[in-house]
């Protein structure tokens, strides 16, 4: 009798474990280096103003989140834009936002690690990352972007690479740089 009870308990336990394992199997979550925090609209406006976006520009937003910066820049100027983000949820949201804004034909969003993105076509780069990510990204920007490419960052600098301009927008800071000629500027 006891043996039958234990076999029943053991069978139930095995069934519960098997059910729990199959019910909770999900693809691994994307590892994000930077949390998604939306840039306030007034900061977006200042970033676009500082880089003087024109219809001839190609704007890259690295860590583009919901796409608001590149969408606003493209909408205001008629330029083309590319947003790069590793989070598939943000890419989907950004594409929806571009469609709502009527600029889906001028903006594309790429699900990719920003360190692997081809940024060479950019004439403008926008960032809202973290200081350590900016510093890790700096060598890529300096080696792949053409001299004169404008870079603007919300709240975070790039170490000893001194910005050409710094603007306060409430309690937010916007930093502006231009990529120097080869051999000039920081490493």
Query: 91-146 pLDDT, tens per residue?
Result: 999 999 999 999 999 999 999 999 999 999 999 999 999 999 999 999 999 999 99
Q: How many CA atoms lie within 13 A of 57 on its CB side?
A: 26
CA distance readout (Å), 54 to 81, 123, 157: 11, 10, 24
Q: pLDDT digits over 34-79, tens only?
A: 788 889 999 999 999 999 999 999 999 999 999 999 999 999 999 9
- 65/123 Cα distance (integer angstroms): 20
pLDDT grade for 181, boundaries at 50, 70 and 90: confident
Which residue(s) pair with 124 in the sheet?
A: 59, 150
C-alpha R_g of the chain: 23
Rounded Cα–Cα distance for residues 111 and 113 (Å): 7
Q: What is the pLDDT of residue 34?
A: 78
d(CA 65, CA 130): 14
Which has the closest alpha carbon to 53: 117, 111, 103, 115?
Answer: 103
Residue 131 has what pLDDT?
A: 95
Whole-prediction pTM: 0.81
For domain 41-178, which CATH number applies: 3.40.50.720, 1.10.580.10, 1.20.120.400, 3.40.50.150?
A: 3.40.50.150
Domains in the chain: boundaries: 41-178
């Amino acid at each position: 009798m006891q043996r039958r009870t234990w076999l029943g308990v053991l069978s139930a336990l095995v069934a519960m474990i098997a059910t729990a394992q199959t019910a909770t199997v999900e693809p691994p979550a994307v590892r994000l280096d930077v949390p998604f925090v939306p840039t306030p609209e007034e900061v977006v406006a200042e970033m676009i103003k500082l880089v003087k976006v024109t219809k001839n520009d190609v704007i890259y937003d690295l860590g583009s989140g919901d796409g608001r910066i590149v969408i606003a820049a493209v909408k205001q100027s008629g330029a083309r834009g590319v947003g790069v983000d590793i989070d598939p949820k943000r890419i989907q949201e950004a594409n929806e936002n571009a469609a709502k804004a009527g600029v889906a034909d001028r903006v594309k969003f790429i699900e990719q690690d920003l360190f692997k993105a081809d940024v060479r076509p950019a004439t403008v780069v926008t960032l809202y990352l973290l200081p350590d990510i900016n510093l890790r990204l700096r060598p890529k920007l300096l080696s792949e972007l053409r001299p004169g490419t404008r870079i603007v960052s919300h709240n975070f600098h790039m170490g000893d690479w001194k910005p050409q301009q710094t603007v306060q927008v409430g309690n937010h800071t916007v930093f502006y740089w231009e990529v120097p000629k080869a051999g000039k500027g920081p490493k």
